[in-house]
């Protein structure tokens, strides 16, 4: 009887508590009244929490009398108590300037006093090397650099030297430090032949800073040597790292980017490149800013930052699937140059106009995917896609960890509950046989191939392949073979701390697809909701651009970004050369900075006159700045189609879109410590961005302004 009464009492109390629960909603903004996405909201004393969405909106269940805590990096944590009549809590968070001055936020979001900041850089003075009795620099470094291990095999004439800066990171055992002498990558043997007295400076970069500066080849650390008498100067971004060492405390890998320089039109009038509709770099940068991390220069791909945003280009009206648009203005950050914009607008198809889809979800469920921002976020993102499927669309699911297997055979989009249930069952664990997973996914996609349909593998991973074919080259060869099947590839990156950007970009580029980075559900909504057709349906493949500048009016030009998309001029008409894909509704924007004829610029270097070749300008085209040609293939075609657009030499007032694109490009240049930003300031970026905010229906441009301000505060 007592037990029965106890159960009744507990049930009654539970009902009372449940009855006092209420839904609290509201909008959180920053100090300027702009929506603040990603604010962490939690009911104190419970595990009940949520985050604000892209518009700063949130909803949470809480009991009357409870206290809700609101926190966001760089802002003062706020608390609000729920009163009897409280249903809405909205307010503006206040900047915490004091904490920003006293605290450094490291890559993993751990706050430390600035005086306790960990360094990944060490400088060895020349006199330290000379004081040693060792005859060469390699042995002189021993004992001067923490974590440095030097192994010399065969002390005879043919001795070999191996330099390791930290513990083994590669399963193959290739873990030697990268050695750079006067700007050239050399072997340890070459370094060992240099006498200490001939060294001007030696800088050792350890940790992930090496890969941030030199790409994957620097992932095991970098030894940078400058010799006496050399004219070599350290790149600007390397100097920046030496002066202010980065606190990269993770294993994210980015390929090295060598910034485009000005090209002399007399010797190189053609600029040829593949389009890039990937947007992963921007969302990854946003994640780093929101986490309080320093941004590695090689993670900044300016073209992906610019192309993250939509621009008001007109829809195509002719037989071609995209419109061509150009604009010419005075460069906002350099009065001696002009800025040119070349924009493409892909034809937009409504979802009910898209062909039937044969989609294969290829999901990484290895141990590295266990974090909340990886597999759990991944499953939620895929559910957004599933909810848009039609009865004629079919989905299969392949997963891989130590091995690969099929967890869902082709299933109609009408059976959404079945597909979602299969996603919900996924758990992480084991190693990462990515190559095996790709093989199985493509095999399944080919087996269920839809003629005239949309056949696509959608890979979701952090890129950490470590079983079987796993290197970037291995992946490139594998995907190049698979794209011949007619199956396209979309690559979604998740998580941080082990994110392999270079590998995922290689997969997308070689697989006739696109690459996105999902950092929040808001980004998932953008990729699978707002841009559903562009993400999944290709309207043109192998899209190439070739711009010919008129030497009568242009001395030199510089393509801003697209460094890893450059093509040889002859590749433009070579239909065997792969290039980028354009999806339904996608826009592509490219910016050129040009130096007009007659303008003196320190960016231009003199060249010798040619003896056998005469440079004669065609006077009949003096009113033209450039001619731009486009080549593309239909999604199922093998022969390219060419379009031509001529741009007249006419400087105009910048449009709203041009101002904003300029702001994003300039900010990317500043993040990369570019030598071409003309010592511009952050306020130059903010002024341009605010002038170019325009209608901003989705708030993405306002978010950019907030991110620039937030990173500057950090």
What is the reported pLDDT for 557? 98
Question: What's the rounded Cα separation, in Å, for the pair 275 and 594?
Answer: 20
Instruction: Give CA–CA dist 164/147, Å, rounded.
Output: 8
Burial of 496 (0-12, 13-18, 19+ CB in 10 A): buried
Own/partner contacts of 122-127, CB < 8 Å, gap of 24 or more, are: 122/146, 122/203, 122/204, 122/206, 123/201, 123/202, 123/203, 123/204, 123/242, 124/202, 124/203, 124/204, 126/196, 126/199, 126/200, 126/201, 126/202
Alpha-carbon span 436 to 610, nearest angstrom: 55
**Among 505, 479, 109, 123, residue whose Cα is nearest residue 298:** 505
Rg (CA), the chain: 28
Length of the chain as a residue count = 714
CA distance 382 to 373: 14
Closest CA to 591 of 341, 345, 327, 344: 341
Q: How many CA atoms lie within 13 A of 149 on its CB side?
A: 10
- What is 339-350 written as a DSSP string? EEEEEEEEPP--
Say how far apart CA 36 and CA 489 lie, in whole Å.
33
CA 523 centroid distance within chain: 13
10-residue mean pLDDT series, the chain (714 residues): 47 45 87 75 79 80 89 80 89 67 32 38 54 55 52 49 48 63 81 79 70 65 82 70 52 86 94 91 91 88 95 93 95 97 92 88 88 87 90 94 89 95 88 81 92 90 64 74 85 83 83 86 84 78 95 96 95 93 91 96 84 70 92 92 96 97 97 93 95 91 92 75
Pairing of strands 554-560, 263-264: antiparallel
Rounded CA gap, 601 and 592, in Å?
Answer: 16
- Say what the pLDDT of residue 108 is: 30
Going by C-alpha positions, the residue among 216, 307, 702 that lies closest to residue 516 is 307
Q: What is the pTM of this model?
A: 0.70
Listed residue (661, 672, 691, 680) closest to 285, CA to CA: 672
């Amino acid at each position: 009887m007592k037990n029965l009464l106890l159960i009744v009492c507990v049930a009654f109390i539970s009902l009372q508590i449940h009855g006092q629960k209420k839904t609290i909603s509201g909008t959180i903004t920053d100090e300027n009244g702009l929506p603040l996405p990603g604010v962490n909201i939690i009911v104190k004393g419970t595990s009940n929490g949520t985050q604000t969405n892209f518009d700063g909106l949130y909803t949470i269940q809480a009991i009357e009398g409870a206290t809700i805590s609101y926190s966001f990096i760089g802002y003062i944590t706020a608390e609000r108590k729920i009163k009897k009549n409280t249903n809405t809590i909205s307010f503006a968070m206040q900047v915490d300037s004091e904490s920003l001055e006293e605290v450094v936020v490291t890559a993993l979001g751990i706050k430390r006093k600035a005086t306790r900041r960990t360094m990944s850089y060490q400088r060895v003075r020349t006199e330290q090397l000379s004081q040693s009795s060792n005859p060469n620099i390699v042995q002189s470094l021993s004992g001067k650099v923490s974590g440095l291990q030097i192994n010399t095999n065969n002390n005879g004439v043919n001795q070999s030297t191996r330099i390791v800066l930290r513990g083994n990171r590669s399963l193959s055992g290739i873990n030697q430090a990268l050695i750079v002498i006067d700007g050239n990558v050399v072997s340890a043997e070459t370094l060992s032949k240099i006498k200490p007295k001939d060294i001007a400076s030696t800088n050792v970069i350890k940790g992930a800073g090496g890969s941030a500066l030199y790409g994957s080849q620097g992932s095991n650390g970098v030894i940078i040597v400058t010799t006496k008498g050399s004219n070599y100067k350290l790149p600007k971004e390397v100097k920046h790292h030496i002066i202010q060492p980065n606190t990269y405390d993770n294993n994210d890998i980015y390929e090295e980017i060598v910034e485009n320089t000005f090209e002399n039109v007399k010797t190189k009038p053609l600029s040829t490149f593949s389009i890039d509709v990937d947007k992963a770099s921007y969302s990854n940068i946003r994640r780093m800013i929101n986490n309080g991390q320093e941004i590695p220069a090689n993670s900044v791909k300016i073209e992906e930052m610019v192309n993250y945003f939509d621009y008001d280009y007109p829809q195509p009206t002719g037989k071609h699937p995209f419109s061509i648009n150009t604009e010419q203005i005075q460069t906002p950050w350099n009065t001696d140059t002009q800025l040119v914009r070349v924009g493409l607008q892909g034809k937009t198809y409504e979802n009910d106009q898209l062909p039937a889809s044969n989609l294969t979800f290829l999901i990484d469920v290895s141990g590295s995917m266990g974090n909340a921002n990886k597999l759990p976020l991944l499953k939620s993102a895929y559910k957004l896609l599933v909810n848009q499927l039609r009865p004629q669309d079919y989905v299969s699911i392949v997963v891989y960890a130590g091995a690969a297997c099929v967890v869902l055979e082709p299933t109609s989009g009408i059976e959404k509950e079945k597909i979602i249930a299969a996603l919900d069952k996924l758990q992480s664990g084991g190693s990462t046989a990515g190559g095996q997973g790709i093989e199985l996914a493509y095999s399944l996609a080919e087996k269920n191939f839809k003629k005239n349909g949309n056949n696509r593998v959608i890979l979701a991973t952090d890129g950490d392949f470590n079983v079987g074919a796993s290197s970037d080259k291995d992946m490139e060869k594998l995907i190049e073979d698979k794209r011949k099947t007619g199956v396209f590839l979309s690559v979604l990156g998740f998580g941080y701390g082990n994110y392999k950007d270079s590998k995922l970009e290689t997969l997308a580029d070689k697989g006739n697809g696109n690459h996105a980075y999902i950092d929040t559900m808001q980004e998932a909504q953008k990729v699978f909701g707002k841009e559903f057709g562009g993400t999944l349906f290709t309207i043109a493949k192998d899209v190439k651009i070739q711009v010919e500048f008129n030497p009568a009016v242009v001395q030199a030009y510089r393509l801003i970004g697209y460094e890893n998309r450059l093509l040889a001029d002859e590749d433009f008409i070579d239909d065997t050369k792969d290039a980028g894909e354009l999806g339904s509704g996608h826009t592509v924007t490219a910016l050129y900075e040009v130096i007009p004829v007659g303008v003196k610029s320190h960016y231009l270097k003199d060249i010798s006159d040619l003896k056998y070749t005469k440079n004669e300008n065609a006077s009949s085209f003096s009113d033209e700045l450039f001619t731009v040609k486009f080549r593309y293939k239909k999604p199922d075609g093998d022969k390219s189609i060419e379009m031509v657009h001529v741009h007249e030499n006419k400087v105009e007032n910048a449009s709203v879109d041009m101002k904003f694109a300029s702001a994003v490009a300039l900010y990317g240049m500043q993040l990369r410590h570019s030598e071409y930003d003309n010592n511009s300031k952050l306020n130059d970026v903010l002024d341009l961005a605010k002038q170019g905010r325009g209608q901003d229906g989705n708030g993405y441009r306002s978010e950019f302004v907030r991110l620039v301000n937030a990173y500057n505060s950090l």
